[in-house]
Structure 1
């Protein structure tokens, strides 16, 4: 169980660092861009979506590797063990959509739960970031 907590913590910390760095870099980059102010918001959204996609892939790699290691549990259901299925499962978990066609069994359930919570927090953080950026640039000409 300690190994699960350590692995889960590592994956969460890594995704939070990635998210922080993306938003920090966007905060620095957007004001310096020589484009229309409204286009900056579009670039901010694209940057945030890129960050979220990368974070989903980090969790997907964790599922992919842990699924093949004994003692961590596995993903079952409409799952063929491919990285593509792990990415799909990660997207549905990160967004808390959860179609239910792939289910975690064993210790992987803890990573699934923490991914849903992490996704919720990071998506909310992105919404707050974009709101602040919109206030900053929206009314400028």
Structure 2
């Protein structure tokens, strides 16, 4: 079981690295965009918000796909019959919905719990990033 947990922690680390890269890229881009003089228009805020949320959604989709590949290509997990089913299982686990209609067998089900923990952390991190962005906008527009 220790090796299974260690394997799950490795997948979490890969997702944390992905999230870190996107966070640094996003903050750098948003800082450059917001460092222009004058107030930021509503149109620009809507564009930046839409772009940021879309990027974060794609990021979480990629993170779920990494988990799905982990489940699907693991020879010890034999009850995920297609990659589509593995993606579905990963999405409902990452978001902690957990319908229970698709489950994995054996000792490897501990990975599902680790994915749920990972999902909570990554979505929370993305929420914090968006909140930080809105603080930057408000500070710039209210201080004038």
TM-score normalised over the length of structure 2: 0.83
Deviation at 1:124, TM superposition (A): 0.9
Matched, 1:48 2:56: yes
In the alignment, the residues of structure 2 paired with residue 104 and residue 74 of structure 1 have an alpha-carbon distance, to the nearest angstrom, of 8
Maintained 8 Å contact 2:71/2:77: no
Would you tell me which structure has more helix in proportion to its own residues? 2
Deviation at 1:134, TM superposition (A): 1.0
Maintained 8 Å contact 2:95/2:116: yes
Unaligned runs of 5+ in 1: none
- In the alignment, which residue of structure 1 is the partner of 2:40? none
Aligned residues: 133
Deviation at 1:50, TM superposition (A): 1.2
- In the alignment, which residue of structure 1 is the partner of 2:69? 61
Maintained 8 Å contact 1:23/1:48: no
Would you tell me which structure has more strand in proportion to its own residues? 1
- Deviation by residue 1:67-86 (Cα, 9 ceiling, x = unmatched): xx1xx3443xxx5x111110
TM-score normalised over the length of structure 1: 0.84
Considering only aligned residues, what root-mean-square deviation do their CA atoms show, in Å?
A: 2.0
Larger RCO: 1 or 2 (CA < 8 Å, sep 6+): 2
- In the alignment, which residue of structure 2 is the partner of 1:140? 141
- Rate the CA distance shift 1:41–1:140 in 2: closer, same or farther, 3 A: farther
